[in-house]
Amino acid sequence: MILAGDVGGTKVHLALFDFTAGKLTHERDKQFPAREYSGLEEIVNEFLAGEKATAACFGVPGPVRDGRLRLTNLPWTLDSRELSLRLGIDYVFLINDLQANGYGIAELEPDQIYTLSEGDPAQVGNRALISAGTGLGESFMVWDGRAYVPFPSEGGHSDFAPRNEDEIDLLRFLKQKYNGRISFERVVSGQGLTNIYEFLRDVRGVEEPAWLAERMAAEDPNAVITELAMKAKSEICEKTTDMFVSAYGAEAGNLALKMLSVGGLYLGGGIAPRILEKLKDGAFMKAFTDKGRLSQLLINTPVRVILESRTALIGAAAYAEARAAELSGISPRAASVKL
Q: How many helices (H) and strands (E) does the chain have?
A: 14, 13
Count CB atoms within 10 A of the CB of residue 279. Answer: 23
pLDDT digits (tens, 9 = 90+) for 123-135: 999 999 999 998 8
Distance CA 25, CA 15 (A): 11
**What is the CATH architecture of 109-307?**
3-Layer(aba) Sandwich (3.40)
Sorted by sequence, the CB contacts under 8 Å of residue 4 that are 6+ apart come out as 14, 15, 16, 17, 56, 57, 58, 59, 313, 314, 316, 317, 320
| 262-298 pLDDT, tens digit each | 999 999 999 999 999 999 999 999 999 999 999 999 9
What is the structure's pLDDT at 8? 84
- CB hemisphere CA count around 197 (13 angstroms): 25
Structural contact between residues 197 and 225, judged by C-beta atoms closer than 8 angstroms: yes
Classify domain 2-104+310-335 by CATH number: 3.30.420.40
Please list, in sequence order, all residues whose beta carbon lies within 8 angstroms of the beta carbon of residue 90, skipping any fewer than 6 positions away. Answer: 54, 55, 84, 324, 328
In Å, what is the CA distance from 252 to each residue of 101, 199, 247, 268, 283?
16, 22, 8, 11, 13
Residue 282 class from Cβ within 10 Å (0-12 exposed, 13-18 middle, 19+ buried)?
A: exposed
pLDDT at 318: 96
Give CA–CA dist 243/160, Å, rounded.
Answer: 14
Element (H, E) at 171: helix 165-178
- Beta bridge partners, 59, equal 6, 95
3-state helix, strand, coil in the chain (%, to 5): 45, 25, 30
Rg of the chain, C-alpha, whole Å: 21
* Beta bridge pairs of residue 127: 141, 264
| Residue ranges per structural domain of the chain | 2-104+310-335, 109-307
Phi/psi-derived region of residue 88, left when phi > 0, alpha when psi is between -120 and 50, beta in every other case: left
pLDDT at 339: 61
Asked whether the domain spanning 109-307 has the same topology as the one spanning 2-104+310-335, the reply is: no
- Cα 266 from Cα 262, distance rounded (Å): 11
* Closest to 131 (Cα-Cα) out of 309, 266, 269: 269
List, for the chain, all residue ranges whose pLDDT scores fall below the cut of 70: 339
Phi/psi of residue 232, each to 5°?
55, 45
Question: How many CA atoms does the CB half-sphere of 267 hold within 13 Å?
Answer: 33
The answer to whether 126 and 263 have CB atoms below 8 angstroms apart is: yes
- Other C-beta atoms within 10 Å of 77: how many? 12
d(CA 296, CA 130): 20
Cβ(285)–Cβ(299) below 8 Å: no
CA dihedral sign, ordered 325, 329, 334, 336: negative
Beta bridge partners of 14: 5, 30
In this structure, are strands 113-117 and 303-306 parallel, antiparallel, or unpaired? antiparallel
| Res 221: pLDDT | 96
